[in-house]
Structure 1
Amino acid sequence: MGIISTGCLLLIVLLSPTTSKVLPISEEDQLLYESFARKGVEKFNQQSNDAYRWELDRAWEVERSLSGGIHYSIFVTLVKMDCTKQQKRETCKKTDTLKKCLVEISRRVKRHGYGLKDVAHVRNCEEEFTRNIEKFNHRNIKLEHGNSITVQELRKAKIIKPRDYVIWNSFLDFIDRHDKQYDDKHEVLKRFRVFKKNAKVIRELQKNEQGSAVYGFTKFSDMTTREFKETMLPYQWEEPVYPMDQADFEKEGVTITEDDLPESFDWREKGAVTQVKNQGNCGSCWAFSTTGNVEGAWFLAKNKLVSLSEQELVDCDSVDQGCNGGLPSNAYKEIIRMGGLEPENAYPYDGRGETCHLVRKDIAVYINGSVELPHDEVQLQKWLVTKGPISIGLNANTLQFYRHGVVHPFKIFCEPFMLNHGVLIVGYGKEGRKPYWIVKNSWGPTWGEKGYFRLYRGKNVCGVQELATSSLIN
Structure 2
Amino acid sequence: MDAKYCLIPCLVLGVVAGLVQTLGEDLDRPLFGPPGSPVKLLDSDPGLKKAVLFAEERYNLGTNAMHLRRVSRIISASKQLVKGIRYTITAELSNTQCKKSSMLRTCDFYPESHKLKTEVCLFEVWDIPWQGSSTLLRQKCHPAAESSPKETNSVDELVPPTSQALQEQESVKLLGMFKEFMVKYNKGYRTQEEADQRLQIFHQNLKTAEKLQSLDQGSAEYGVTKFSDLTEEEFSSIYLNPLLSQRNLHRPMKPAAPARGPAPDSWDWRDHGAVTSVKNQGMCGSCWAFSVTGNIEGQWFLKNGTLVSLSEQELVDCDKLDNACRGGLPSNAYASIETLGGLETEADYSYTGHKASCDFTSKKVVAYINSSLELSKDEKEIAAWLAENGPVSVALNAFAMQFYKKGVSHPLRIFCNPWMIDHAVLLVGYGERKGIPFWAIKNSWGEDYGEQGYYNLYRGSKLCGINQMGSSAVVN
TM-score, shorter chain, exceeding 0.5 = yes
Partner of 2:400: 398
Where does 1:118-157 land on structure 2 (aligned, <5 Å)?
none
Shift of 1:432: 2.3
Shift of 1:393: 1.0
Residue 223 (structure 1) aligned with residue 230 (structure 2): yes
Distance verdict in 2 for CA 1:176–1:63, change over 3 Å: farther
Matching residue's letter, 1:280 = G
Distance verdict in 2 for CA 1:161–1:379, change over 3 Å: same
Shift of 1:401: 0.4
Distance verdict in 2 for CA 1:265–1:63, change over 3 Å: farther
Residue among 175, 183, 189 paired with 2:196:
189
Query: How many residues are matched?
Result: 335
Q: Supply the RMSD in Å over aligned alpha carbons.
A: 2.6
Matching residue's letter, 2:228 = S
Shift of 1:469: 0.4
Shift of 1:161: 4.9
Q: d(CA) in 1 for partners of 2:412 and 2:291?
A: 25
Any idea what SS the aligned residue of 1:226 has? Answer: helix
Matching residue's letter, 1:336 = E
Shift of 1:380: 0.3
Residue among 384, 387, 402 paired with 2:386:
384
CA contact (8 A) 2:243 2:329 kept: no
Partner of 1:246: 255
Distance verdict in 2 for CA 1:302–1:70, change over 3 Å: closer
Partner of 1:349: 351
Q: Percent identity?
A: 44
Q: d(CA) in 1 for partners of 2:308 and 2:62?
A: 55
The Cα offsets for residues 128-149 of structure 1, whole Å up to 9 and x where unpaired, read as xxxxxxxxxxxxxxxxxxxxxx
Shift of 1:419: 0.8
Where does 1:254-403 land on structure 2 (aligned, <5 Å)?
254-256=259-261, 258=262, 261-403=263-405
Q: d(CA) in 2 for partners of 1:233 and 1:70?
A: 28
Distance verdict in 2 for CA 1:64–1:309, change over 3 Å: same
Partner of 2:98: none
Partner of 2:427: 425
CA contact (8 A) 1:441 1:453 kept: yes
Q: d(CA) in 2 for partners of 1:326 and 1:278?
A: 17
CA contact (8 A) 1:14 1:71 kept: no
Q: d(CA) in 2 for partners of 1:330 and 1:19?
A: 41
Q: d(CA) in 2 for partners of 1:424 and 1:69?
A: 36
Residue 211 (structure 1) aligned with residue 221 (structure 2): no
Residue 14 (structure 1) aligned with residue 63 (structure 2): yes
CA contact (8 A) 2:264 2:384 kept: no
Partner of 2:183: 176
Q: d(CA) in 2 for partners of 1:355 and 1:70?
A: 51
CA contact (8 A) 2:295 2:473 kept: yes
Shift of 1:428: 0.4
Distance verdict in 2 for CA 1:473–1:73, change over 3 Å: farther
Greater CA deviation, 347-356 or 200-209?
Answer: 200-209
Matching residue's letter, 2:374 = E
Which runs of 5 or more structure 1 residues have no equivalent in the other structure?
1-10, 24-61, 75-159
Distance verdict in 2 for CA 1:201–1:330, change over 3 Å: same
Partner of 1:201: 208
Partner of 1:126: none
Partner of 1:236: 243
Matching residue's letter, 1:245 = K
Q: d(CA) in 2 for partners of 1:20 and 1:73?
A: 14
Shift of 1:407: 1.0
Partner of 1:447: 449
Any idea what SS the aligned residue of 1:236 has? Answer: helix
Distance verdict in 2 for CA 1:71–1:287, change over 3 Å: closer
Shift of 1:433: 2.7
Residue 166 (structure 1) aligned with residue 179 (structure 2): no
Which runs of 5 or more structure 2 residues have no equivalent in the other structure?
1-58, 71-84, 91-120, 126-133, 142-166
Residue 410 (structure 1) aligned with residue 419 (structure 2): no
Matching residue's letter, 1:367 = I
Shift of 1:70: 10
Distance verdict in 2 for CA 1:69–1:453, change over 3 Å: closer
Q: d(CA) in 2 for partners of 1:466 and 1:241?
A: 12
Q: d(CA) in 2 for partners of 1:419 and 1:468?
A: 12
| TM-score when normalising by structure 1 | 0.67
Q: d(CA) in 1 for partners of 2:140 and 2:342?
A: 55
Q: d(CA) in 2 for partners of 1:457 and 1:195?
A: 31
Matching residue's letter, 2:63 = L
The Cα offsets for residues 114-162 of structure 1, whole Å up to 9 and x where unpaired, read as xxxxxxxxxxxxxxxxxxxxxxxxxxxxxxxxxxxxxxxxxxxxxx955
Q: d(CA) in 1 for partners of 2:215 and 2:284?
A: 30
CA contact (8 A) 1:14 1:70 kept: no
Q: d(CA) in 2 for partners of 1:303 and 1:421?
A: 29
